[in-house]
């Protein structure tokens, strides 16, 4: 089972959990388009750096 650390209480919890069962910390959700935008900008930056 994969785990992640809660930034609030530092307990290891299930990686699929949206809320920490210990301290009720809500993990922020990231929209998929933000990830794709970051990848696109990184590729553009690398291409301009190389050329």
Would you list the domain boundaries of the chain? 3-50
Residue 51, pLDDT score: 79
Question: Distance between CA 12 and CA 21 in Å, rounded?
Answer: 10
Strands (E), 1-51: 3-5, 12-14
Beta carbons of 25 and 19 less than 8 angstroms apart: yes
Below-70 pLDDT ranges, the chain:
none
CB atoms within 10 A of CB 29: 6
């Amino acid at each position: 089972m994969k785990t992640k650390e809660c930034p609030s209480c530092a307990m290891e919890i299930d990686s699929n959990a949206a809320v920490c069962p210990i301290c009720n910390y809500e993990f922020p959700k990231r929209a998929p388009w933000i990830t794709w935008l970051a990848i696109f900008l990184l590729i553009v930056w690398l291409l301009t750096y190389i050329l």
